[in-house]
Amino acid sequence: MTQQTAAEAPAGQEFQDRVNEYWSRWAGEYDAHQRRRLRQEGEAELWGRIWGEMLPQPDAGPEGRPAEVLDIGTGSGHAAVVVASLGHRVTGIDLAEGMLEQARLHTGGAENPQFLTGDAAAPPFLPGSFDAITARYLLWTLRDPAEALGRWLEVLRPGGVLGVVDSLWFPEGLAAGADEAPTERSAHFTAAYAGAQQRMPLAEADSISVYAEQIAAAGFTEMTVEELTALYVLDQARGVAPGHQVQMQYRIRAVKPAD
C-alpha cells in the first residue's frame, strides 16, 4: 500500500512516515472488509482468475520449481494469499508494519506467502530474482514512477511478467469530497496525504493510459489493458471498502523483454 523513493529528503521521509502510520492505524478495518469479501461466494475464484490469467504457469520457475512472485505494496496480503493459492511462491513487501501484521495473521506461520518490510520503489532483492511481480492498488502512490518501475524491471528475470490491478482513484483531485462530513478515518487520510499532489504524480490520473505509458516507458513490452467488468458488478452488489466508491478497475499485464 505504501512506498518511498530510494533517496529520501527529510521532508519526503516525514511524508512517508505519515502515510505508513495511516495505513498501519487503519489496517484492521481495511483488512476486515477485504477478508469479508473474499469469503463471499465466487469472490476468491474471481480474483484467482484475474491474477492467474496474467501470471506464468505455477511451475514456470527454474527447473520446474514454483514461479517466484513478488507482491509489491502487499498491504494486508490480499493478492499475495490469492496468488499463493494458485501454486506460486509469493513474497509480499510493504512499509506499513500494521498492514504486514494483518497479513501475517492469515498465514498461520506458513512460509508461503511470506511477508517482509520492503520499499516498493527499491525492492530489496537481487536482479533477476522473480518470475513475476504483482501490484494491487499501488501505482497511484509512486513518487517517482520511472525509478520504481525501472527497479521492478530489474528484479524480474528475462521474460518475467508484471501484473497490475488498479483504478483511477482521484481523477477529480485528492481534495474532492473534502466538504462532505468527515469521518475519523477520512480526516486522518486527508492529514496523512497532505501535499500528495506534488509528491505522487499518478494520484490524480484521469485515464488508465497514464499508467500504461509509464509502464511502457520503463521498458516493459507486450502490454495489455482490460476493464474488470465482473469485479465492477460484484462491487456494486457487495459494497466497497469504507471511504471508497464503486468504480471501474483495470488489469494491466506487461513483460520484461527476453535477453
Look up residue 7 and give its three cell numbers. Answer: 533517496
Query: What pLDDT is stored for residue 180 in this prediction?
Result: 60
Contact criterion met (CB below 8 Å) for 20 and 100: no
Q: What is the pLDDT of residues 108-126, one digit of tens each?
A: 778 899 999 999 999 999 9
Whether the upstream peptide bond of residue 113 has omega within 30° of 0, thus cis, is yes
CB 122 within 8 A of CB 107: no
The predicted-structure confidence for 60-95, as pLDDT tens digits, reads as follows 777 788 999 999 999 999 999 999 999 999 999 999
Q: Which of 234, 221, 33, 254 is nearest to 132 (CA)?
A: 254
Higher pLDDT, 240 or 152: 152
- Give the confidence band of 10 by pLDDT, cuts at 50, 70, 90: very low
pTM of this prediction exceeds 0.85: yes
Summarised one tens digit per residue, pLDDT across range 175-212 is 765 546 678 888 888 787 777 767 888 989 999 999 99
pLDDT at 105 exceeding the cut of 50: yes
* Angle at 246 (CA atoms; ends 48, 195), nearest 5 degrees: 105
All three cell numbers of 258, joined, read 527476453
The percentage of the chain sitting over the pLDDT mark of 70, rounded to a whole number, equals 93
Q: What is the 3-state secondary structure (H, E, C) of the chain?
A: CCCCCCCCCHHHHHHHHHHHHHHHHCHHHHHHHHHHHHHCCCHHHHHHHHHHCCCCCCCCCHHHCCCEEEEECCCCCHHHHHHHHCCCEEEEEECCHHHHHHHHHCCCCCCCCEEEECCCCCCCCCCCCEEEEEEECCHHHCCCHHHHHHHHHHHEEEEEEEEEEEECCCCCCCCCCCCCCCCHHHHHHHHHCCCHHHHCCCCCCCCHHHHHHHHHHCCCEEEEEEECHHHHHHHHHHCCCCCCCCCCEEEEEEECCCC
Neighbouring CB atoms inside 10 A of 208's CB total 21
- Give mean pLDDT, residues 205-230: 97
Please state, for a pLDDT cut of 90, what percent of the chain lies above it. Answer: 62
- Identify the CATH number of the domain defined by range 10-255: 3.40.50.150
Do 211 and 131 form a contact (C-beta atoms < 8 A)? no
pLDDT surpasses 70 at 33: yes
* Banded model confidence at residue 14, pLDDT cuts 50, 70, 90: confident
- Spatial separation of the C-alpha atoms in residues 259 and 159, rounded to whole Å: 8
